[in-house]
Every structure is written in structure tokens, then in C-alpha cells.
Structure 1
Amino acid sequence: MSEIDIEKKFLENAKKHFPIKKPRNIFSLMKLDHYENPITDLLEFFLYDKNDHGLGNVFFQGFLDCIPNGDTLPGELICKPQREVSTEDGKRIDLILSGADFSIIIENKIRHSAVNPFKSYVEYAEKYLIEDGKNIIYVLLSPGGQSEKKNWIGLSYPKLVSAIRKRLLAISSKEENKWYMFSEEFLNHLASLTEKYEMQDENKDFVFSNLANIRKLERLKKNVYNIYERDISEKIFPLLQDFKKKVSCKTSWPNGPRWEIESWNGAVKVILYYKSVGNNVTPQIRIYVYKINIEKCKKEDGQILL
């Protein structure tokens, strides 16, 4: 069996470990998947039972199910959650939930590391929220649920989604409630944000057990790209006479290799790329003409070399 045949067999075995594409939802279609503010706005809306969703305390009780000793706290809020609360030094707290004998500070992180001014949040809470022995709870909500901040509880989206869904099942009038359907879509979206954190042990084992073969495939891919770059240069360069020419390969292009051919003294760029949809790969070409540089491409008699 040739080395190519071995690599083909390896790729066939690898397919079962490929990431499963998450179903699209209204939030991903609206390109809101990485914006924390609209996500936190929706959390604020669903966490408060007196908002118009008609789902009662399902979201808040599901939230309490996820934090230590949450079952000992009253299962309702005494006022509307506060958003973007300013501290004395101008920092902003994502969300504050207030109960009869507790306040919960929530910092919501989606795709950024937790480098927020947590000290400012705590100073604000200790100055303005502690009264009559009120308990202050600090929660760092994120797709992965990690928290390295002292006294901050790490809560993951999957855990929160699972707890809320259990509570939603008990709603009897859900078929008549448009907000129930919207809340399900919202929870689906939160779940989709955790894709990179959800990986089975067998997927990890496969990668670490086959690092040598994976490196071989990377080298094979690079060699093929280099051959194509050479072939492109051999075909294109004789046509460009003495004009500036450059072929560069963008191997990080998401759907496949992309070559940028810059010539005609910067007036034209030719893009040759392979568009990959599933297992189908189609070569495509785009040509960009930069009018601002067009004078550089004129002959002495005024003709344009394009």
C-alpha cells in the first residue's frame, strides 16, 4: 500500500471524529453569536418573572439550580435586573439580580478572556449592595464555565441551559406562548456557543494518538500547495513581461488554498482559490482592478497593458 493510500485510509477513519456542525438559529443568522450585550439583554429579560415572556421564574430558578446553595435562596427577584451598572471608577457590571436577602453580580463572557476589573465590581457591591446582612454572590458566566477569580463562581452555558430546560418542561401552556418558542431558540443558541468546549474523550485520544500522521498530512498539503504555486508562476509569469509580479499562497483561507497574484505594477490582483463545499472542490478565479494605479500600466503610446 502506497503512502498516499495509507493517508487516504487514515482520513476515512478520521471522518467520524470531525466536529458536528451545530444547527443554525435566528441569532447566528443575525450574526449576534459573539456579541455579549444582546445575549445579556435576553438573559435579563427571561430572568425576571414580571417581564412579558409569561414564563414565570423558570429561567431564574434554573439559574439558582446551578449555583452552590441556590436552593436555599428565594426563587424570585424583588425588582427588575440591572444592566450595565457603572462603578465609581467608570467600569460596568453586566448584570445585577436582587432578591429579598441576596444580590447576584453576573459577568457574562462569550469569547474573551476574563480580564475584567473584578476588584471594582466587588468594591461597588460591598459599598452599595450589602445591607442588613444581604448575601452577595459573584458569578462568572461563560461557555466553558471556568473561573480563576477568587470568590467568583464559574458557571457554564451547558449547565445553565440544561437546568433551565428541565424547568421549561413543566410549563403547561407552552404551546400557546410565543416566548416559549423564542426561549428555546435562545437556549439553542447558548448551547451552540459552547461547541469548542464539547469534545468527547475519544476525539482527544484520536488526535493525540495520531499526531505523527496528522503532521504528515499537513506536510503533504503544504507540498501540494507549493507545487500549484510553482505551476501558477510558470504559466503566468511569461505573460507579464517586465512588470512586477508576485505569487503568494494564503494557506489559512477557510475553504481551501488561495493564491494572490499581484502584477501589472499593483494595478491588478488575480485571486485563484479553491472553494470547498463538503467533498466537492471547485477552482475559481477573481480579478481585482485598482484604478488608482492604472497609470503605472500604460505603454509609452498610452495603451494599457491589461
Structure 2
Amino acid sequence: MDYNELDSFLNSVDIPEIKTKPKTFLGIARQPHYENVLSNLYAFYFDVNEEHGLKDLFIASLSQLIEESEIGKGKEIVFDDGFDIETESATNDGGRIDLLLSNDSHAIIIENKVYHGLINDLDDYWESIESSLEENKIGIVLSLYKIKQINHPHFINITHLDFFKCVMVNSGKYLLNANDKYLVYLKDLYQNIINLSTNTMEKKDLEFYFDNNQKINELLELNDSIRIHIAEEVEKGIGLLDYEFYIARRSECDTRRFISTKCDKLSIMISTEHLYTNVNAIGILVEVKGDAINACENLKKEYFTKEEFESSMDIDYKGRDDEGVFQLAGQWEYPITTEQISNLSQFIVDTIEKDHLLPIFNKLEDFFVKEEAKEELVEIA
């Protein structure tokens, strides 16, 4: 691996900043692309009498797009007397129309497509809806991307995104009387459609990768080697303490917990996650799990030497993380240089000695063992 060449590469290119798509409620619920979910949401907003207060915004926008299409120009679909909305409407041959907008003489048949291909029997859909004249009904395939050809003379293609763009453009005169809550939902649904309709990666980002993938892969290989080195150095450093621990790895390389063999609620945690950011530091902490913290209330300042106590915090604990673990001693960020990272194991040993973390750990371990023995005696009595 030619490090001079890699250094020259890194200094000569602007690495693209990858933008993430905004989260939506459907995305958080892991249902952003389910066709039946989208159909139900569309049905709600198509209903002119629903509490969203947007009246005929959706049907007016859809009618506009129909009239702009070649097939739609020859249609006369009028819902002046209102219309019914039905999802999963049964067809003559056992099919299901995703969304049907209809009254006695007019109908809009909507086939909702997201990631699935168009293999539906559109003839069955068309023949299943009885309207007096062909010009009074139309079929729509609502899809993420443009469909080049639909094999039915009365079906047109509209994309979800084009439909929503039309809705949003037309929404102005409806906003005053709309329910604010459902406007928020509408905007979130629109963002969900944008997320589904746009690629995660931009063309320029893909071009950057494929133009430079050899050097990028070399950098990834270097990154993996460094992470392995750091993980090995962490475990080597703990090994140099000549003390027996159980090892728990919260992630492959970033965090190690070295758990007491006498008390499984006591551990030394070493975190190297900041080494992979702009913060050159590692975390070394003496920790105790959840309910074991209650026993620490019996600890007295005199239990530790002055130096040990200054590295711990008696009853005023350093804090608790998301896993319910309290940090009793040490620091989240010990600054470290590149030279020290090359011999990380010795840095860990030196830091643990400097901050008296092993004596603190030993005294806590003895304390917990005695507390457990007391509890056992109480239970026997």
C-alpha cells in the first residue's frame, strides 16, 4: 500500500458529503412503501367531508392531471353529486382495485404501485366497474416512476410525486380552513413520497466512487487494519494488568467491557469510538450496573485513599448511560496522540495506574462481594 499516493489522493479530491433523506412517520414505522397503507392515506384525503378540512383538494388535483393527459382529454368524469371511496374493491375475476372513486355514472380506477411491477389484469378492473359510458370512467396507474407503456387504452400513468406536486401547488386556497394537524400529516406524507421517488445516491457521488474505487478500497482496508490494531491493543493493555476479567464487546471494535469475575455488575469499560472522529481521545471508566449502585450508598469517603477518591466521586456519581450503567471513576475522554495510539496498550496501563483505577476497582469488588455475602446471610436467617 503506497501511503504517499493515498495521502496525495486525499489532499487532491473533495470527498462528497452524503446527504440523508429526512425521516418521516411512515419511515419510522417502517411502512414507507406499503401500497395498502398509502392507499388508505389517499382515501382519507380524497374524502371531501373528512376532518382534514382540505375539501376537494385531492380530487381537483387528480382531475387536473387527468385532463392534461391524452386519454383524459376525451373523458368527462364529473363528481358534482359526490362520490364514494373504496379501497381493495373486489373485481369480477377475484382481483382487488387499490382505490376506487365512483358514483352511479362516473369512476376513477386507481392501481397503486410502489415497488411492484404492473402485472395486474387491467381488463378485469375496467370491466368490473359498470358506468353508462366509457368516456365517464378512466383508469390510473399511480407509480413511483414513469411507465413507458400501459397495455390498456383507458389507463394513464401518473407518478406519486407528480400527483403530490400538483396537490401542493393547488393547496394555497385550501389552507385557511384546513385542520393544522392534518396539514402536518400531509407534509410528512409528501416528504415520504419524495423519499421513495428519489435516489439515495446522487449521480456525482456514484461517479466519484467508481472513478476512485481502487484508492477508496485501499483506504477501507487501512481503516479495518487500524480498527483491528486498536481492538487488539485494548485487550493487550488489560492483559498487562495481570488481572482476570470476562470480556464483553458492545460492538466489534469500539467498546470493550472487562467484567469482574467476582461481581458481574462491576467492570472497566474502554471506549475507542472517539478515535474514529475528530476527537483524539479514549474513554476508560470504572462502571457498575443498575441496581448495584444502591449498595454504593454505604461507601464512605474514607473507603478510598485521597488520590483514589479524587479519581472517583463517592455518592455523587459521574452519570448513567443508556444501558443503565453508572460511571464511578475515570474519564470519557483521555487525550491521546498518534504516537501513543501506536502503543495503545501501554497508554491504557499508564492511565489506569495514574488515575488509580485498578485499586478503586479492587476495593469496589471487595465491597460488592461482602455486600452479597451479607444478603445471603439475611436470606438464610
Mark yes or no: TM-score above 0.5.
yes
In the other structure, the counterpart of 1:106 is: 111
Select which of 155, 175, 192 maps to 1:190.
192
Q: Deviations over 1:165-218 (max 9, x none)?
A: 22223x1x5234225733652354234423752655434433333333332332
Measure how far apart 1:80 and its partner are: 2.6
Q: Deviations over 1:90-113 (max 9, x none)?
A: 76543223364433132243xxx3
In the other structure, the counterpart of 2:325 is: none
Select which of 140, 161, 166 maps to 1:163.
166
Measure how far apart 1:34 and its partner are: 2.3
Query: 1:282 and 1:191 mapped to 2: Cα distance?
Result: 42
In the other structure, the counterpart of 2:125 is: 125
In the other structure, the counterpart of 1:299 is: none
Does the 8 Å CA contact 1:130/1:136 hold for their aligned counterparts? no
The 1:136/1:123 distance shift into structure 2, 3 A limit, reads same
Alignment RMSD (CA, Å): 5.1
SS of aligned partner of 2:236: helix
Measure how far apart 1:279 and its partner are: 5.8
Measure how far apart 1:5 and its partner are: 3.5
Query: 1:155 and 1:194 mapped to 2: Cα distance?
Result: 15
In the other structure, the counterpart of 1:50 is: 49
Q: Which has the larger radius of gyration?
A: 2
The 1:178/1:218 distance shift into structure 2, 3 A limit, reads same
The 1:153/1:168 distance shift into structure 2, 3 A limit, reads same
Gap regions ≥5 residues in structure 2: 290-368, 370-381
Does the 8 Å CA contact 1:47/1:59 hold for their aligned counterparts? yes
Measure how far apart 1:47 and its partner are: 2.0
In the other structure, the counterpart of 1:274 is: 273
Does the 8 Å CA contact 1:54/1:177 hold for their aligned counterparts? yes
Gap regions ≥5 residues in structure 1: 251-256, 290-302
Query: 1:89 and 1:276 mapped to 2: Cα distance?
Result: 63
The 1:159/1:245 distance shift into structure 2, 3 A limit, reads same
In the other structure, the counterpart of 1:202 is: 204
Does the 8 Å CA contact 1:161/1:187 hold for their aligned counterparts? no
SS of aligned partner of 1:96: strand
The number of residues matched between the two structures is 277
In the other structure, the counterpart of 2:373 is: none
Query: 1:215 and 1:258 mapped to 2: Cα distance?
Result: 21
In the other structure, the counterpart of 1:97 is: 101
In the other structure, the counterpart of 1:178 is: 179
1:125 maps to amino acid: Y
2:87 maps to amino acid: R
Measure how far apart 1:159 and its partner are: 1.9
Alignment of 1:127-276 (within 5 A): 128-134=128-134, 135-142=137-144, 144=145, 150-151=151-152, 155-169=158-172, 171=173, 174-179=175-180, 181-182=183-184, 184-194=186-196, 196-197=198-199, 200-236=202-238, 250=252, 258=254, 274=273
Query: 2:87 and 2:50 mapped to 1: Cα distance?
Result: 15
In the other structure, the counterpart of 1:34 is: 32
**TM-score, with length taken from structure 1:** 0.62
Select which of 81, 86, 90 maps to 1:82.
86
SS of aligned partner of 2:273: strand
**TM-score, with length taken from structure 2:** 0.52
Query: 1:65 and 1:3 mapped to 2: Cα distance?
Result: 58
Q: Deviations over 1:238-273 (max 9, x none)?
A: 7799999797975xxxxxx656789999x9998967
Q: Considering fraction of residues, name the structure with more helix.
A: 2
Query: 1:29 and 1:181 mapped to 2: Cα distance?
Result: 18
Measure how far apart 1:114 and its partner are: 0.8
1:104 maps to amino acid: I
2:51 maps to amino acid: D
Q: Deviations over 1:42-100 (max 9, x none)?
A: 21111233333332332223334556434554364852321233567876543223364
Query: 1:238 and 1:282 mapped to 2: Cα distance?
Result: 21
Query: 1:48 and 1:284 mapped to 2: Cα distance?
Result: 57
Measure how far apart 1:233 and its partner are: 4.0
Identity of paired residues, percent? 17
Q: Deviations over 1:15-45 (max 9, x none)?
A: xx323344455x2686365263443322111
Measure how far apart 1:288 and its partner are: 11
Does the 8 Å CA contact 1:147/1:153 hold for their aligned counterparts? no
Query: 2:274 and 2:95 mapped to 1: Cα distance?
Result: 45
Does the 8 Å CA contact 1:229/1:249 hold for their aligned counterparts? no
Does the 8 Å CA contact 1:62/1:164 hold for their aligned counterparts? yes
The 1:190/1:49 distance shift into structure 2, 3 A limit, reads same
The 1:238/1:285 distance shift into structure 2, 3 A limit, reads closer
Measure how far apart 1:237 and its partner are: 5.7
Query: 1:217 and 1:34 mapped to 2: Cα distance?
Result: 35
